[in-house]
Chains A and B, each alone.
Chain A
Amino acid sequence: MLTIERALVDQIVAHARADHPDEACGVVTGPAGEDRPVRFVPMTNAERSPTFYKFDATELLKLDREVDDRDEEIVIVYHSHTATEAYPSRTDVSYSSYAPDAHYVLVSTRDENEVEFRSYRIVGGDYDGNGRVGAEVVEEEVVIVEPGSAPANR
């Protein structure tokens, strides 16, 4: 289960809408070991493509250092699909080795009026150099916490 504040959901969706028709991508970090999304960090999609995304390499290094220095973890890796449903593609699974245990949030911007916001875990598999192979995609419930309400415990 992913528990996330409404404001973070809104930021992720706004980023996806802003970059449409290209895919948008980024992370939400949080205190190490707590599995709690706190800090929204949008990334540049170096591919600037409607069908592919790749974190800008320089931004990724900066992010990696920050997460280390602040004693954080990558809680969420998010990206958008601009013409298809919010479900991880085969390539999404292949290139999930940086933060293998994160929540993978998919947003679809294919419908102008309706928001699709879904979350998955990518479980198991091995990194063989080309990508992560043999991993399984498991959808999880998303619990959105409204401002002012107590955060739910996992």
Chain B
Amino acid sequence: MAIEVRIPTILRNLTDGQKAVEGKGGTLDELFGDLDARHPGLRDRLVDDKGLRKFVNVYLNDEDVRFLGGLTAEVSDGDSVTILPAVAGG
């Protein structure tokens, strides 16, 4: 078992076009690190030195991870993570 991560269209150039990839880790931060080893550049699109990027939404089993501790949110096998760029503007 692993953690399924759904990738938005705009980032599929980093996953060879795959809509979903699998990874492992105990926290979201570790999961992104694990994914980055196989999909270099992915972590940088999601995280900056302050944590999760402001205009990226990450959901753990359909819940916004900002309410679950952000990068420190605990993840485990069988979980599903979805990444969606924010839709915003001025």
- Determine the chain A residues whose CB is within 8 A of the CB of B53 once the complex forms: 129-130
| Closest chain B residue to A74, Cβ basis | B87
Tell me how many residues of B have a C-beta within 8 Å of chain A: 24
Counting CB contacts under 8 A, is A55 at the interface?
yes
Complex contact B45–A98 (CB within 8 A): no
* B85→A64 contact, CB < 8 A: no
Nearest to B90 among chain A residues (CB) is A91
- Given the interface pairs A95-B89, A129-B46, the reply to whether A100 lies near B55 with Cβ below 8 Å is no
Chain B at the A interface: SS class: mixed
The binding surface of chain A is classed by DSSP as mixed
Residue A149, interface by CB 8 Å: no
Given A129-B45, A130-B55, also A98-B90 (CB < 8 A): no
B10 & A98 in contact (Cβ 8 Å cutoff): yes
A21 at the binding interface (Cβ < 8 Å): no
Q: Are A52 and B89 in contact (CB under 8 A)?
A: yes
Q: How far is the CA of A96 from the CA of B87 in the complex (A)?
A: 6
- Indicate whether A100 sits within 8 Å of B87 (C-beta atoms), given known contacts A58-B64, A129-B44: no
Check if A98 sits within 8 Å of B89, measured CB to CB: no
Instruction: Flag if A54 contacts B87 (CB, 8 Å).
Output: yes
**In whole angstroms, how far apart are the Cα atoms of A79 and B87 in the complex?**
10
Which chain A residue has the least Cβ–Cβ distance from B87?
Answer: A55
Q: Give a binary string over B77-90; 1 marks a CB under 8 Å from any A CB, 0 the rest.
A: 00000101111111
A55 to B57, CA, bound (A): 10
User: Roughly how many angstroms separate A55 CA and B45 CA in the complex, as a whole number?
Assistant: 20
Task: Report Cα–Cα, A54/B90, bound state, in Å.
Answer: 9
Mask of B40-74 contacts with A, CB within 8 angstroms, 1/0: 00001110100001011101001010100000000
Q: Is B45 within 8 A of A54, CB to CB?
A: no
Q: Does B9 contact A (CB under 8 A)?
A: yes
Residue A131, interface by CB 8 Å: yes
CA distance A32 to B57 in the complex (A): 24
Asked, given contacts A58-B64, A89-B90, A130-B53, whether A98 binds B84 with beta carbons under 8 Å apart, the answer is yes
B21 within 8 A of A: no
Report A67-110 CB contacts with B as 1/0, cut-off 8 Å. 00000000001010000000011111111111110000000000
Closest 4 CB pairs of A and B: A92-B89, A54-B88, A95-B88, A91-B90
